[in-house]
Structures are given as C-alpha cells and as structure tokens.
Amino acid sequence: MTAVPDTTIRFWHFQCPECGTSDQEFGHLAEAHDIHCEVCLEDHGRTVILRRLPADELALIGRQQPSAAAVIPVERARLAG
C-alpha cells in the first residue's frame, strides 16, 4: 500500500473583488473554509466570494506578498485551468 500525498491547501492569500479587503489589511491568511468576504457580509449583508491564491504558490512565483494586480490574473487562470 502506498501513501497518497496530502495536497490540501490550508492557507490562502485573498482579496475581495467588491470592497478590496485583502490578507495584507487583516494581517493573516484565510483558511480553507474562509470563502466569503466577512466585511461585505457584515457591513452590507452581501455574500461575496473571495479571490484566493494558495500561499504556497507565492514561493513558486517569487513574491513575498501578492499585489492586487497579481491575485486577480492568477486566480482567473486557476479557475479556467
């Protein structure tokens, strides 16, 4: 029997497409179950899905923190892929 590697992504960099709130403002990464913007939900009663970038991918693309311009194209490519 062979072991299957754990490929679960546990932490994400994030940015809300509506209000722009990101992990840089909050000072922490999102966990796997965090998919909605809490700011939009609490302030406006709107459910907005966060744009997310796996934290591990930053090492692959050579960045310390994603900029807003970097998060959006990478997330679109991941969803289209």
CB-based contact 34:12 (threshold 8 Å):
yes
8 pLDDT tier (thresholds 50, 70, 90): confident
Is the model's pLDDT at 14 over the cut of 50?
Answer: yes
Confidence of residue 5 (pLDDT cuts 50, 70, 90): confident
CA angle 22, 40, 38 (to 5 degrees): 65
Whether the Cβ atoms of residue 61 and residue 79 lie closer than 8 Å to each other: no
Overall average pLDDT of the 62-79 stretch? 49
pLDDT digits (tens, 9 = 90+) for 19-67: 999 998 888 899 888 999 999 999 999 999 999 988 875 544 444 444 4
| Range 5-23 average pLDDT | 87
